Structure 1
Amino acid sequence: MDAFSMMLYCSTLVVALLLSQARGFLHPSEEGDSVPEEWVLLHVVQGHIGAGNYSYLRLNHDGRIILHMRSLKGDADLYVSDKTLRPSYDTYKLQSATCGQDVLVVPGDFVRPVGIGIYGHPSYLESEFEMRVFYDQMVPQDPFHKGSYSYPTEDAQGHQKFPQSSEEDFQEEESIFWTILIGLLKIILEILF
């Protein structure tokens, strides 16, 4: 086996492994769609959208918001922006355009209100969707945002106790990891095919 064949074989194995990991990450469980206990369900939005049309929602809730949208029929795609209340495939900051479940994390530092655009893919006459909107209550507030700084407190012995950082740092690194991983996967797939 020459070097190129070996590299191609190893790349294929890595791609297969990454796809299985990404699939498990993006589609946690078909049965219960389990979500972390720290997430609070704010809204459930159901609707229909015609082919090539948009439906718009406005998000006013502060903090880190997770949008889980599932196409029940057809294919609905998700576009989000804090610059316009009518995001589209031309003007958006965040996008998820899969053929199944679309998941987006709206960072807490996005300017509110945030515009949410739901697009009905033209391949289907009509798309039906269900979107669950979650608030991640474990994300610490930005100390410089709206004067919400957490000052150190003193315990019974007079020692200063500083606020503990949560697992948000780890989750943020994990999110960046998946973003980079998916980008590399796209590059590998473009090279192979």
Structure 2
Amino acid sequence: MALHWRTLSVVLLLSQALTFLHTLDEDRIPEEWVLLHVVQGHIGAGNYSYLRLNHDGNIILHMQSLKGDADLYVSDKTLRPSFDTYKLQSVTCGQDVVVVPVDFMRPVGIGIYGHPSHQESEFEMKVFYDQTVPEDPFDKSVYFSEEGDKQKRHPHVSEEEFQEEESVLWTILIGILKIVLEILF
């Protein structure tokens, strides 16, 4: 039942984003959206650029391809989403909009892909916080401390911890491969 409501809420948020997409221009950003960041960059054909989103709440990623065609992939399961591993995507030739729902675990991985149809793509992404989405009172990631303060239980992983975890996994994987190769040969 909870999965049904989450799916329904994601569909509702996506429909809101698409509605705003048709009316959205630089002068008509909804007042309820607070601009958090503006990211500009270049990406080569067939390459990825990765960003990490740590902000809680309902976040709108609004990316405009200024030159070429940059596509947007988002996931709360991996910090390096691609066209093979993503939860949300926007792959248009102009404006790309993705609504990152409140219930996505943080940090959220953002992958920007330079489409191979252009040698280089230039993009500008604006990150907005939508204040209109109320906090879910049944969110299991929220708990109360002894003092009664509301706190979030989102795993905030630092870059060093992520790299260390990734390195340990590679070491284990290489060790297993060596054992298998010794057995086979």
Q: TM over 0.5, yes or no? A: yes
Contact in 2 for aligned 1:27/1:101 (Cα 8 Å):
no
Counterpart of 1:90 in structure 2 is: 84
Cα 1:50–1:34 shift into 2, 3 Å: same
Is contact 1:69–1:130 with CA below 8 Å preserved after alignment? yes
> Aligned with 1:26: secondary structure?
helix
Match of 2:23 among 28, 45, 53: 28
Larger radius of gyration: 1
Give the corresponding residue for 1:138.
Answer: 132
Q: CA deviation at 1:110?
A: 0.1
1:144 Cα shift? 3.1
CA-atom RMSD in angstroms: 1.8
Alignment counterpart, residue 74 of structure 2, candidates 65, 76, 80: 80
Q: Secondary structure of 1:109's match?
A: coil
Give the whole-Å Cα distance in 1 for the aligned partners of 2:95 and 2:71: 9
Residues 1:40 and 2:34 are matched in the alignment: yes
Asked if structure 2 preserves the Cα contact closer than 8 Å seen for 1:55 and 1:118, the reply is yes
Deviation at 1:25, TM superposition (A): 4.6
Q: How much does 1:116 deviate? A: 0.2
Distance 1:143 1:24, change over 3 A: closer
Q: Structure 2: where are the runs of 5+ without partners? A: 1-16, 145-185
1:64 match: 58
Unaligned runs of 5+ in 1: 1-21, 149-193
Q: CA deviation at 1:140?
A: 1.0
Distance 1:104 1:121, change over 3 A: same
- The DSSP-based 3-state class of the residue aligned with 1:147 is strand
State the distance in 1 between where 2:24 and 2:53 align.
27
Contact 1:46–1:131 (CA under 8 A) maintained in structure 2: yes
- Aligned equivalents of 1:143, 1:24: Cα separation in 2: 27
User: Counterpart of 1:147?
Assistant: 143
Q: 1:53 aligns with which of 44, 47, 51?
A: 47
How far 1:39 sits from its partner (Å)? 0.6
- CA shift, 1:139, in A, is 1.2
Aligned to 1:125: 119
Aligned counterpart for 2:108 among listed residues 92, 114, 122: 114
